[in-house]
Amino acid sequence: MACSRILVSGKVQGVFFRQMTRVVAERHGVRGWVRNLDDGRVEAVLEGDGGAVGEVISWARAGPAGSRVSGIEVSRCGGPCGFAGFEVRY
């Protein structure tokens, strides 16, 4: 079980980044959450099989159509969080 936190910079708000992150995460069986930050970035915590988490991170490096990702920071979480599903936080 892998757990990663990502911070995505660029034009990532107002382009359905959070909603598409949920769709991609659910497609890969990844649990966790995603939210917008006040500084214009998007933050997500992703938990699941290491390969599946990696697939979601790879997708986030490009993002959905209309976004322009300028950077992504990836860090490991301190262990399994036990999320039941994936949610968009507001």
Question: Which member of 18, 22, 31, 41 is catalytic?
Answer: 18
Catalytic status, residue 36:
yes
DSSP 40-77: S-EEEEEEE-HHHHHHHHHHHTT-STT-EEEEEEEEE-
Burial class (CB in 10 A: 0-12, 13-18, 19+), 73: exposed
Catalytic status, residue 18:
yes
Question: Which member of 5, 27, 35, 36 is catalytic?
Answer: 36
Alpha-carbon distance 78 to 66, whole Å?
33
Q: Which residues are catalytic?
A: 18, 36
